[in-house]
Chain A
Amino acid sequence: MPDLAAVAAAHAGTLDTSGFDPLIVVPRESWRQLAGALAARGVWFSDVTCMDRGETLEVVALVCASPTEQITLKTVLPDGYLVVDSLWPVWPGVDWLEREAYDMFGVRFTGHPDLTRILMYDGFEGHPLRKGFPLETEEEA
Protein backbone atom coordinates (compact mmCIF):
# COMPACT_ATOMS: atom_id res chain seq x y z
CA MET A 1 0.00 0.00 0.00
CA PRO A 2 1.52 3.35 -1.01
CA ASP A 3 1.55 6.38 1.30
CA LEU A 4 -1.99 7.51 0.58
CA ALA A 5 -1.88 10.53 2.87
CA ALA A 6 1.04 12.00 0.96
CA VAL A 7 -0.56 11.23 -2.40
CA ALA A 8 -3.85 12.81 -1.35
CA ALA A 9 -2.14 15.89 0.07
CA ALA A 10 -0.10 16.33 -3.11
CA HIS A 11 -3.31 16.55 -5.16
CA ALA A 12 -5.36 18.81 -2.89
CA GLY A 13 -7.45 15.90 -1.77
CA THR A 14 -8.55 14.40 1.51
CA LEU A 15 -7.95 10.91 2.83
CA ASP A 16 -10.57 9.14 4.90
CA THR A 17 -9.50 5.85 6.46
CA SER A 18 -12.51 5.40 8.72
CA GLY A 19 -14.39 3.25 6.26
CA PHE A 20 -13.82 -0.29 5.10
CA ASP A 21 -11.51 0.91 2.33
CA PRO A 22 -9.40 4.08 2.24
CA LEU A 23 -11.26 6.87 0.47
CA ILE A 24 -9.52 9.68 -1.39
CA VAL A 25 -11.66 12.62 -2.50
CA VAL A 26 -10.01 15.06 -4.88
CA PRO A 27 -11.26 18.06 -6.84
CA ARG A 28 -12.07 17.60 -10.48
CA GLU A 29 -8.87 19.25 -11.72
CA SER A 30 -6.52 16.70 -10.16
CA TRP A 31 -8.56 13.57 -10.97
CA ARG A 32 -6.23 12.27 -13.64
CA GLN A 33 -3.08 13.40 -11.84
CA LEU A 34 -4.14 11.44 -8.77
CA ALA A 35 -4.69 8.34 -10.87
CA GLY A 36 -1.34 8.82 -12.57
CA ALA A 37 0.44 9.20 -9.25
CA LEU A 38 -1.16 6.01 -7.95
CA ALA A 39 -0.45 4.13 -11.15
CA ALA A 40 3.21 5.13 -10.85
CA ARG A 41 3.17 3.40 -7.45
CA GLY A 42 1.89 0.15 -8.89
CA VAL A 43 -1.82 0.64 -8.33
CA TRP A 44 -4.22 -0.72 -10.94
CA PHE A 45 -7.89 -0.02 -11.40
CA SER A 46 -10.81 -2.37 -11.10
CA ASP A 47 -13.89 -0.26 -11.72
CA VAL A 48 -15.07 3.20 -12.70
CA THR A 49 -18.65 4.24 -12.16
CA CYS A 50 -20.82 7.10 -10.90
CA MET A 51 -23.28 7.86 -8.15
CA ASP A 52 -26.10 10.36 -8.58
CA ARG A 53 -26.67 12.20 -5.29
CA GLY A 54 -29.32 14.51 -6.68
CA GLU A 55 -27.60 17.87 -6.24
CA THR A 56 -24.19 16.51 -7.16
CA LEU A 57 -22.85 13.55 -9.05
CA GLU A 58 -19.85 11.58 -7.88
CA VAL A 59 -17.42 9.82 -10.17
CA VAL A 60 -16.00 6.84 -8.32
CA ALA A 61 -13.00 4.71 -9.21
CA LEU A 62 -12.11 1.55 -7.36
CA VAL A 63 -8.42 0.81 -7.56
CA CYS A 64 -6.30 -1.95 -6.08
CA ALA A 65 -2.86 -1.71 -4.55
CA SER A 66 -2.73 -5.47 -4.11
CA PRO A 67 -5.26 -8.27 -4.45
CA THR A 68 -6.47 -7.59 -0.88
CA GLU A 69 -6.04 -3.80 -0.65
CA GLN A 70 -8.68 -1.72 -2.38
CA ILE A 71 -8.78 2.07 -2.49
CA THR A 72 -11.74 4.22 -3.45
CA LEU A 73 -11.14 7.39 -5.42
CA LYS A 74 -13.88 9.95 -5.74
CA THR A 75 -14.47 13.32 -7.27
CA VAL A 76 -17.64 15.34 -6.88
CA LEU A 77 -19.20 17.13 -9.84
CA PRO A 78 -22.01 19.67 -9.59
CA ASP A 79 -25.13 18.68 -11.45
CA GLY A 80 -24.81 21.27 -14.16
CA TYR A 81 -21.30 20.64 -15.44
CA LEU A 82 -20.57 16.93 -15.78
CA VAL A 83 -17.10 17.01 -17.29
CA VAL A 84 -14.04 15.28 -15.89
CA ASP A 85 -10.73 14.08 -17.26
CA SER A 86 -10.72 10.56 -18.61
CA LEU A 87 -8.48 8.01 -16.95
CA TRP A 88 -7.84 6.37 -20.30
CA PRO A 89 -4.26 7.75 -20.63
CA VAL A 90 -3.46 6.19 -17.25
CA TRP A 91 -5.32 2.89 -17.49
CA PRO A 92 -6.54 2.09 -21.03
CA GLY A 93 -8.82 -0.57 -19.60
CA VAL A 94 -11.29 2.05 -18.36
CA ASP A 95 -12.44 2.48 -21.95
CA TRP A 96 -15.74 0.61 -21.78
CA LEU A 97 -16.39 1.52 -18.14
CA GLU A 98 -16.21 5.21 -18.90
CA ARG A 99 -18.41 4.67 -21.93
CA GLU A 100 -20.93 2.98 -19.64
CA ALA A 101 -20.72 5.85 -17.14
CA TYR A 102 -21.29 8.29 -19.99
CA ASP A 103 -24.19 6.23 -21.30
CA MET A 104 -25.92 5.83 -17.96
CA PHE A 105 -25.07 9.12 -16.24
CA GLY A 106 -24.07 11.57 -18.95
CA VAL A 107 -20.63 12.37 -17.59
CA ARG A 108 -18.34 13.48 -20.38
CA PHE A 109 -14.79 12.20 -19.97
CA THR A 110 -12.41 14.50 -21.80
CA GLY A 111 -9.55 12.68 -23.46
CA HIS A 112 -11.49 9.46 -23.98
CA PRO A 113 -10.80 8.07 -27.49
CA ASP A 114 -14.37 6.97 -28.31
CA LEU A 115 -16.98 8.30 -25.94
CA THR A 116 -20.14 6.81 -27.44
CA ARG A 117 -23.02 4.85 -25.98
CA ILE A 118 -22.21 1.27 -25.12
CA LEU A 119 -25.35 -0.23 -23.55
CA MET A 120 -28.20 1.74 -25.06
CA TYR A 121 -28.92 2.05 -28.74
CA ASP A 122 -27.64 5.06 -30.63
CA GLY A 123 -30.93 6.93 -30.95
CA PHE A 124 -31.66 6.80 -27.23
CA GLU A 125 -32.21 10.11 -25.51
CA GLY A 126 -31.28 10.79 -21.92
CA HIS A 127 -29.19 8.97 -19.36
CA PRO A 128 -31.34 6.38 -17.60
CA LEU A 129 -29.56 6.00 -14.27
CA ARG A 130 -29.86 9.69 -13.42
CA LYS A 131 -32.31 10.55 -10.68
CA GLY A 132 -34.17 12.86 -13.00
CA PHE A 133 -34.83 10.20 -15.62
CA PRO A 134 -38.53 9.23 -15.76
CA LEU A 135 -39.14 5.86 -14.14
CA GLU A 136 -41.69 4.65 -16.64
CA THR A 137 -41.40 5.22 -20.34
CA GLU A 138 -44.13 4.44 -22.82
CA GLU A 139 -42.18 4.89 -26.03
CA GLU A 140 -42.05 1.93 -28.35
CA ALA A 141 -39.08 0.46 -30.12
Chain B
Amino acid sequence: MGLTDSAERPGFILSTVDALLRWGRSHSMWICNAGSACCSLEMLAAGGPRYDMDRFGTMVRASPRQSDILVIPGPITKKMAPVFTRVYNQMAEPRWVIAMGSCAITGGAFRESYSMTKGADTVLPVDVFVPGCPVRPEALIYALLLLRKKIQTTTTVGESHREPVYLPPVLPPEWTAEVDAFLGEGEVCAE
Protein backbone atom coordinates (compact mmCIF):
# COMPACT_ATOMS: atom_id res chain seq x y z
CA MET B 1 0.00 0.00 0.00
CA GLY B 2 1.02 3.59 -0.36
CA LEU B 3 1.97 4.07 3.26
CA THR B 4 4.77 1.56 3.01
CA ASP B 5 6.47 3.46 0.23
CA SER B 6 6.26 6.96 1.66
CA ALA B 7 7.56 8.82 4.68
CA GLU B 8 11.02 7.70 5.65
CA ARG B 9 10.48 9.35 9.01
CA PRO B 10 6.84 8.84 9.88
CA GLY B 11 5.14 11.46 11.98
CA PHE B 12 2.51 11.02 14.61
CA ILE B 13 -0.40 10.19 12.33
CA LEU B 14 1.53 7.64 10.30
CA SER B 15 2.98 6.01 13.39
CA THR B 16 -0.50 5.63 14.86
CA VAL B 17 -1.74 4.14 11.62
CA ASP B 18 1.30 1.92 11.61
CA ALA B 19 0.44 0.56 15.05
CA LEU B 20 -3.07 -0.17 13.86
CA LEU B 21 -1.79 -1.88 10.75
CA ARG B 22 0.68 -3.96 12.73
CA TRP B 23 -2.04 -5.02 15.11
CA GLY B 24 -4.30 -6.02 12.25
CA ARG B 25 -1.64 -7.79 10.23
CA SER B 26 -0.33 -9.73 13.19
CA HIS B 27 -3.76 -11.18 13.83
CA SER B 28 -4.61 -12.20 10.28
CA MET B 29 -1.55 -13.99 8.96
CA TRP B 30 -2.80 -15.84 5.95
CA ILE B 31 -0.56 -18.54 4.53
CA CYS B 32 -0.09 -19.09 0.85
CA ASN B 33 -0.95 -22.66 -0.03
CA ALA B 34 2.30 -23.57 -1.77
CA GLY B 35 3.58 -27.02 -0.84
CA SER B 36 6.81 -28.30 -2.29
CA ALA B 37 7.33 -31.52 -0.31
CA CYS B 38 6.34 -33.54 2.73
CA CYS B 39 6.52 -30.68 5.25
CA SER B 40 3.41 -29.28 3.60
CA LEU B 41 1.46 -32.18 5.11
CA GLU B 42 2.58 -31.01 8.55
CA MET B 43 1.50 -27.53 7.56
CA LEU B 44 -1.92 -28.87 6.66
CA ALA B 45 -1.98 -30.87 9.89
CA ALA B 46 -1.33 -27.63 11.74
CA GLY B 47 -4.42 -26.29 10.03
CA GLY B 48 -6.50 -29.32 10.94
CA PRO B 49 -8.79 -29.64 13.94
CA ARG B 50 -6.16 -30.96 16.38
CA TYR B 51 -3.89 -27.92 16.12
CA ASP B 52 -6.21 -25.49 14.37
CA MET B 53 -4.09 -22.58 13.19
CA ASP B 54 -7.32 -20.81 12.37
CA ARG B 55 -7.80 -19.88 16.01
CA PHE B 56 -5.21 -17.15 15.75
CA GLY B 57 -6.23 -15.94 12.38
CA THR B 58 -3.92 -18.06 10.25
CA MET B 59 -5.73 -19.51 7.30
CA VAL B 60 -4.35 -21.30 4.27
CA ARG B 61 -5.36 -19.38 1.18
CA ALA B 62 -5.28 -20.79 -2.31
CA SER B 63 -4.21 -17.52 -3.91
CA PRO B 64 -0.97 -15.61 -3.36
CA ARG B 65 -2.90 -12.37 -3.85
CA GLN B 66 -4.81 -12.99 -0.64
CA SER B 67 -1.94 -14.29 1.50
CA ASP B 68 0.64 -12.57 3.69
CA ILE B 69 3.02 -15.41 4.52
CA LEU B 70 4.77 -17.76 2.15
CA VAL B 71 5.66 -20.94 4.01
CA ILE B 72 8.26 -22.91 2.08
CA PRO B 73 7.52 -26.44 3.27
CA GLY B 74 10.30 -28.47 1.79
CA PRO B 75 13.13 -28.45 -0.69
CA ILE B 76 13.27 -25.94 -3.50
CA THR B 77 14.72 -27.48 -6.59
CA LYS B 78 16.45 -25.29 -9.09
CA LYS B 79 13.56 -25.82 -11.44
CA MET B 80 11.01 -24.74 -8.83
CA ALA B 81 12.97 -21.71 -7.63
CA PRO B 82 11.57 -19.42 -10.35
CA VAL B 83 8.08 -20.64 -9.49
CA PHE B 84 8.46 -19.78 -5.82
CA THR B 85 9.95 -16.43 -6.76
CA ARG B 86 6.96 -15.76 -8.95
CA VAL B 87 4.52 -16.72 -6.19
CA TYR B 88 6.41 -14.45 -3.81
CA ASN B 89 6.27 -11.59 -6.26
CA GLN B 90 2.52 -12.05 -6.66
CA MET B 91 1.93 -11.58 -2.95
CA ALA B 92 0.94 -8.13 -1.78
CA GLU B 93 3.36 -6.26 0.46
CA PRO B 94 4.11 -6.50 3.30
CA ARG B 95 4.89 -10.20 3.03
CA TRP B 96 6.84 -12.64 5.13
CA VAL B 97 8.55 -15.92 4.42
CA ILE B 98 8.95 -18.94 6.71
CA ALA B 99 11.49 -21.60 5.71
CA MET B 100 10.03 -24.81 7.07
CA GLY B 101 12.20 -27.87 7.55
CA SER B 102 15.79 -28.88 6.98
CA CYS B 103 15.48 -28.87 3.21
CA ALA B 104 14.20 -25.33 3.09
CA ILE B 105 16.92 -24.13 5.46
CA THR B 106 20.05 -25.64 3.89
CA GLY B 107 18.94 -28.21 1.35
CA GLY B 108 18.94 -30.91 4.01
CA ALA B 109 19.64 -34.43 2.93
CA PHE B 110 19.50 -33.35 -0.71
CA ARG B 111 21.98 -30.48 -0.36
CA GLU B 112 24.62 -32.05 -2.58
CA SER B 113 22.15 -33.11 -5.22
CA TYR B 114 22.46 -31.78 -8.72
CA SER B 115 18.97 -30.32 -8.69
CA MET B 116 18.74 -28.59 -5.30
CA THR B 117 19.21 -25.04 -4.14
CA LYS B 118 21.27 -24.67 -0.98
CA GLY B 119 18.41 -23.34 1.07
CA ALA B 120 15.44 -21.08 0.62
CA ASP B 121 17.40 -17.97 1.63
CA THR B 122 19.38 -18.26 -1.58
CA VAL B 123 16.10 -17.66 -3.41
CA LEU B 124 13.87 -15.53 -1.17
CA PRO B 125 14.35 -13.30 1.91
CA VAL B 126 13.39 -15.56 4.79
CA ASP B 127 12.05 -14.22 8.09
CA VAL B 128 11.82 -17.32 10.27
CA PHE B 129 13.70 -20.61 9.94
CA VAL B 130 11.99 -23.63 11.49
CA PRO B 131 14.15 -26.77 11.76
CA GLY B 132 12.80 -30.29 11.74
CA CYS B 133 12.49 -33.25 9.43
CA PRO B 134 9.62 -32.93 9.17
CA VAL B 135 8.64 -29.94 11.23
CA ARG B 136 6.09 -30.81 13.87
CA PRO B 137 2.94 -28.69 13.82
CA GLU B 138 3.84 -27.29 17.25
CA ALA B 139 7.10 -25.94 15.86
CA LEU B 140 5.30 -24.34 12.95
CA ILE B 141 2.79 -22.80 15.34
CA TYR B 142 5.64 -21.47 17.46
CA ALA B 143 7.21 -20.00 14.36
CA LEU B 144 3.92 -18.32 13.54
CA LEU B 145 3.68 -16.92 17.06
CA LEU B 146 7.25 -15.69 16.72
CA LEU B 147 6.43 -14.14 13.39
CA ARG B 148 3.43 -12.49 14.97
CA LYS B 149 5.72 -10.84 17.52
CA LYS B 150 7.99 -9.82 14.70
CA ILE B 151 5.14 -8.25 12.78
CA GLN B 152 4.01 -6.44 15.91
CA THR B 153 7.45 -4.99 16.55
CA THR B 154 8.50 -4.17 12.99
CA THR B 155 7.31 -1.02 11.34
CA THR B 156 5.73 -1.38 7.96
CA VAL B 157 5.89 2.36 7.25
CA GLY B 158 8.91 3.22 5.18
CA GLU B 159 11.84 0.95 4.58
CA SER B 160 12.60 -1.56 7.29
CA HIS B 161 15.29 -4.17 7.48
CA ARG B 162 14.08 -7.47 8.85
CA GLU B 163 16.59 -9.76 10.47
CA PRO B 164 15.87 -13.48 10.11
CA VAL B 165 15.02 -15.52 13.17
CA TYR B 166 16.51 -18.96 13.64
CA LEU B 167 14.66 -21.48 15.77
CA PRO B 168 16.79 -24.11 17.59
CA PRO B 169 16.47 -27.73 16.46
CA VAL B 170 14.77 -28.76 19.70
CA LEU B 171 12.30 -26.34 21.14
CA PRO B 172 13.11 -25.37 24.74
CA PRO B 173 10.50 -26.43 27.33
CA GLU B 174 9.39 -22.89 27.99
CA TRP B 175 8.60 -22.46 24.32
CA THR B 176 6.63 -25.67 24.08
CA ALA B 177 4.88 -24.58 27.26
CA GLU B 178 3.93 -21.41 25.47
CA VAL B 179 2.52 -23.35 22.55
CA ASP B 180 0.77 -25.68 24.97
CA ALA B 181 -0.79 -22.77 26.74
CA PHE B 182 -1.86 -21.42 23.40
CA LEU B 183 -3.28 -24.71 22.29
CA GLY B 184 -4.83 -25.35 25.70
CA GLU B 185 -3.87 -28.99 25.40
CA GLY B 186 -0.92 -30.02 27.54
CA GLU B 187 -0.27 -33.50 26.25
CA VAL B 188 0.33 -32.54 22.65
CA CYS B 189 3.94 -31.44 23.11
CA ALA B 190 4.67 -34.07 25.74
CA GLU B 191 4.86 -36.88 23.19
Contact = CB atoms under 8 A, between A and B. Distances in A.
Interface of A: 119-121, 124, 126, 128, 133, 135-137, 140-141
Given A120-B79, A121-B78, A141 B122 contact: yes
A128 B115 contact: yes
A128 to B, nearest CB: 4
B72 to A, nearest CB: 14
Nearest to B115: A120
Number of chain B interface residues as a range: 10 to 19
A8 to B, nearest CB: 37
Interface string B104-134: 0000000010110110001100000000000
Nearest to B81: A141
A128 B114 contact: yes
Contacts of A121: 78-79
Given A120-B79, A121-B78, A141-B81, A136 B112 contact: yes
B16 to A, nearest CB: 42
Nearest to B117: A141
B118 A133 contact: no
Contacts of A140: 117-118, 122
Contacts of A126: 114
B122 A133 contact: no
A124 B81 CA distance: 14
Nearest to B123: A141
Which 6 pairs show the lowest CB-CB distances between chains A and B? A128-B114, A141-B78, A136-B112, A121-B79, A141-B81, A141-B117
Contacts of A137: 112, 114
Given A140-B122, A141-B122, A133 B114 contact: yes
Interface in B114-162: 114-115, 117-118, 122-123
22 contacts: A119-B79, A119-B115, A120-B78, A120-B79, A120-B114, A120-B115, A121-B78, A126-B114, A128-B114, A128-B115, A133-B114, A135-B112, A136-B112, A137-B112, A137-B114, A140-B117, A140-B118, A140-B122, A141-B81, A141-B117, A141-B122, A141-B123
A133 B123 CA distance: 25
Nearest to A117: B79
Contacts of A119: 79, 115
Contacts of B122: 140-141
A140 B81 CA distance: 11
A136 B115 CA distance: 10
Contacts of B78: 120-121, 124, 141
A107 B89 CA distance: 38
Contacts of A141: 78, 81, 117, 122-123
B65 to A, nearest CB: 25
A119 B122 CA distance: 21
A103 B110 CA distance: 19
A135 B118 CA distance: 15
Residue among B78, B122, B123 facing the most chain A CB atoms (10 A cut-off)? B78
A35 B122 CA distance: 47
